[in-house]
Structure formats: structure tokens, C-alpha cells
Amino acid sequence: MIRQRLVQAAAPIVQQGLGRVGLRVALTGGRAATILDDDRLIVSYPRSGNTWLSFLLTNLMHPEEPTTFLNLDHRCPDIHQRSNRYLLQLPRPRLMKSHEPFDGRYPRVVYLVRDPRDVALSYHRFLAKVRVIEKTMPLPDFIDGFLTGAWDADRGAWGEHVGSWLGARGSGDAMLTLRYEDLHHSPEQQLARVAEFLGIPNSPEACARAVSLATPERMRELEAIETRRVRELKDTRTEIPFIGAAEVGVGRVELDARDQARIVERWRGTLEELGYEPSGRAPRRADE
């Protein structure tokens, strides 16, 4: 009970911190953004690989110049960080990122999902980077808020966010569900699949180039160079990178057994539906 009260008390501080780096829903963007009938959106729960996928797609769309953190905002803006006016000035069809729970206005969606055990670790590290929690916060305390969605009241908990999209759009042809783990395992093939769904021209050679330009190592190098010029990276703990190790299954190594069990028991049905093993085994690949 004491831990739960601490999490609840911290929630407003978290929201203020996220707002400083542009991650709170803006009054004229976010949920209030105007959605056009030819929009294409990459949607995910935070820390599920949204930025990586946007790098891959925009490198595919712009062979003349590689994507960086400096030009990503124009090529694939986050609707939570930009005003409606800015978004409406972009050339159509727009490609945009969103962390919104289900929004029936979105005409075409790639929904990117990631094992919540890995998401929890990445989110803990991210909130420490943006100075809304201490780096030393024990993971069990963080998991309390992660399970209830207390760390991000605008988006709720992982299971509710995923369930809102799968439940409303999971069987339709207007949404493509993509697992981070499958993108990690076969990035060129999965990128081609996403590009076909979004109507983006692609070829094996172009996909291979896009993947080579968006490796975790290269993205971390870009981050290190561009941090002071990218508003969502300013005033953060520079010793903690925004781009993490980009590994699969790390949550089943670094989280203790009790915290893993808490996550599994909360969302067992959703995990099984998506092909994530409740045990410590690696998730089944999409081609298995």
C-alpha cells in the first residue's frame, strides 16, 4: 500500500517531466490533432520501437538523404510533440507517430507491439533519462505503476493500450500488427511487409539500405551528435541513451521472477494472443 501511494503521488511529477520533453498530449496536437483520410500512422505503447520503425520507413522513403534525429520530425512527426497547424502543413499523405490508445479516426495503422517485460525495463530507463524518476528507483516499485498505468495517465497501462487496438482493429484490413521481436529478427523482410501495407515503394536493395542506416549503433551515434539540437533530448541525463541496446528478451533476464510473474498474470491472455511465451523462453517468431 505504501508503494502504491508513492506511485500515485509521483504521477503528476511524471506528467510534468514528460511535458518538458514533448511527450504529453498537446492541446492542439495529440488526441486533438486533425486526422486526414490518407494519413498513415505508426502507433505503439511507449518504448516499443516506434522511433526505430520511423527511421526505417523514412530512410526507405527518402533515399536522397539519410534520416537523422534532426529531420525525422518533418518526415514522421510525433503527433504529441507538434501543433495541429504544423501537422497540417506537411505534404500528403502524411506519415506520423502516435502513442494514443485506440482512435477510430486513424485510417491506416501499423501497430507495433513489444513484450511488456522488455517495455517495462526500457520505460524505467527512459523515465530516468528524462529526470522524472531517480536512476536508483527499484524495479519492483516501478512495476507497481507500470501495471496500473500510473506512469502515463494519458495512455494507461500496456495491456489496456494493446487491447484497445487489437480489440477494435485486430481483424480488420486497416491495421497491420507488427511485433518488435519479428522486426528485430528479420528487419528487411518486415520492413518490406510494412511498406507494402502503407503503399511505400520498396525493393530488397532499398530495404537493405534503410536497415543499414538505422542500426542501433548508428542511431546512438546520431543521438550523441545531435542531442543538444533535438528538443526532446535536451536537458536529459546524457549518460543514459535514448536509444537502448535494442535487445529482445532482456526483461526475462533482468527482471526478477516475481516481477515477471506479476506482468504475466496481469496480461496472460494478451501475451498468449500475440505469441509471447509466459515462461522465460524466447517468443515464437511470426514464421513459426
Per-residue pLDDT of the chain (288 residues; tens, 9 = 90+): 444 444 444 444 444 444 444 444 344 578 889 999 999 999 999 999 999 999 999 999 999 999 998 899 999 999 998 999 999 999 999 999 999 999 999 999 999 999 999 999 999 988 887 777 788 899 999 999 999 999 888 889 999 999 999 999 887 899 999 999 999 999 999 999 999 999 999 999 999 999 999 998 998 888 777 666 555 555 665 655 556 666 788 899 899 999 999 999 999 999 999 999 887 655 554 444
Q: Give CA–CA dist 47/255, Å, rounded.
A: 16
Q: Give CA–CA dist 183/187, Å, rounded.
A: 5
Is 2-273 assigned to CATH 1.10.287.1080? no
- The number of beta carbons lying within 10 Å of the beta carbon of residue 31 is 15
Predicted TM-score of the model (pTM): 0.85
pLDDT score, position 5: 41
pLDDT score, position 223: 79
Assign residue 117 a region: left if phi > 0, alpha if psi is -120 to 50, beta otherwise? alpha
Q: Is 263 helix (H, G, I), strand (E, B) or coil?
A: helix
pLDDT score, position 278: 82
- Cα–Cα distance list, 219 to 10, 61, 213, 227, 243 (Å): 31, 18, 8, 11, 7
The pairing of beta strand 95-98 with beta strand 175-179: unpaired
Q: Give CA–CA dist 150/204, Å, rounded.
A: 42
Q: Tell me how long the chain is.
A: 288
The sheet with strand 175-179 has its strands ordered as 95-98, 40-44, 109-113, 175-179
- The number of beta carbons lying within 10 Å of the beta carbon of residue 30 is 20
Q: Identify whether the C-beta of residue 2 lies closer than 8 Å to the C-beta of residue 8.
A: no
Tell me which residue of 157, 218, 220, 210 sits closest to 183, measured CA to CA. 210
- Which triple of cell numbers denotes residue 259? 516481477
pLDDT score, position 136: 84
- The number of beta carbons lying within 10 Å of the beta carbon of residue 281 is 10
pLDDT score, position 129: 76
Residue with grid cell 510494412, as numbered in its chain: 194
Residue with grid cell 526507405, as numbered in its chain: 60
pLDDT score, position 19: 47
Q: Give CA–CA dist 183/171, Å, rounded.
A: 21
- Cα–Cα distance list, 273 to 30, 99, 177 (Å): 29, 21, 12
